[in-house]
Amino acid sequence: MESVYTQGIWLAETLQQRTRSLENAWVVITYIGDPKAAFLLVFPFTYFISKRAGVAVLWVAAISEWLNLVFKWMLFGERPFWWIGESGLFVSVQPKVQQFPSTCETGPGSPSGHAMVTAAVWWVVVSSLGSSLYSHTHSVLLSAAPCLLYVLILVAVGLSRIFILAHFPHQVVAGCITGFILGMVLRRRVPEGRPLLFFFSLSVGLLLSAVMLHVGLQQLGIDLSWSIALAKKWCSHAEWIRLDTAPFSSLTRDCGALLGLGLAQYWKPGGWSLPWAPRALSLAVSSMGLYHVNRLPLPVRPQGLFYGLFFVKFVLVPQVVMVFVPGLVHFFTHKKKKN
């Protein structure tokens, strides 16, 4: 693997040097490809266009990110920003690369979570868009056009992860392929209309199974905190190490979102029954609401409290999009019509 890692470092150096002027664009793209963005950006936008597609996006995002966590624990995988120093191969010739605020993630690197979740979630989006275009135009060529958008998104997100030294190229490719397969499989198994008990059991089951896997691997002498130690050691700015990039943060996000999806469907959301204008208003208000929910400060000590509140935060995400905001918009627009 040394040669693969080494070639990945030199590719990252070339990419940084030749696209230095696009630095801000790469940072924005890597944010859009963040699994968190699937919950906070793609989900509300998709939901108010197509209810089933929106629910599918949330479902696929949660399951694919959970699987990515399991894969990382099993496959390990270095990250470029720490491997440069740990390898000892660049003593005489140091690569001319730099880190960024989004570089210093603390989980293992293989496969890329950004690439994997993006590939899974955006496959749901583009396949739904393609089906809609075909039903309206009956043109195979036009309905296939979203696939080009899909490829462009994956390439952009993958290059952004290499540019900021968060992943090696082979990790990005592995994430894209795995995510694409998951997107095709999971979009056909969307748990729309399932009882709340199903989502509660799924949320608790995924949480407990991941914790048991973590404990089991530790009992076998496998230290799963190795990546956190390396990230802290080699990150150029200590403040770039954030708890919300830790593996257990993604776990609590996924389990919280799934429980939230069950609760939102239990309350029988009415967002999809709104006309187009109130639905657009609901999208705008939901986006602002999720922006502020995401920015809520959480205490980092003790860590158990942080993860518990992080879980609650993502339980709220489907409530805001599917229940609270559409309910308020319906109430005020209905009241206005009466007057």
Residue positions annotated with a catalytic role: 114, 167
Assigned token pair, 85: 């120093």
Residue 235 is given by DSSP the state -
Q: Sign of dihedral through CA atoms 152, 121, 42, 129?
A: positive
Residues 245/67, Cβ–Cβ less than 8 Å: no
Give the integer Cα–Cα distance in Å for 157 and 115.
7
Give the integer Cα–Cα distance in Å for 11 and 25.
18
Residues 265/192, Cβ–Cβ less than 8 Å: yes
Question: How far is residue 73 from each of residues 24, 158, 228, 248, measured CA to CA in Å?
Answer: 31, 21, 12, 11
52 annotated as ligand-binding: no
Give the integer Cα–Cα distance in Å for 304 and 211.
13
Closest by Cα among 35, 76, 27 to 228: 76
Give the integer Cα–Cα distance in Å for 34 and 27.
11
295 annotated as ligand-binding: no
| Cβ-defined contacts of 95-98 (< 8 Å, 24+) | 95/9, 95/10, 95/12, 95/13, 96/13, 96/16, 96/17, 97/9, 97/12, 97/13, 97/16, 97/165, 98/16, 98/165, 98/236
Per 3-state DSSP, what percentage of the chain is helix, strand, and coil (rounded to 5)?
75, 0, 25
- Side chain identity at residue 160, one-letter code: S
- Side chain identity at residue 170, one-letter code: H
Give the integer Cα–Cα distance in Å for 161 and 168.
8
Known binding residues for substrate are: 79, 161
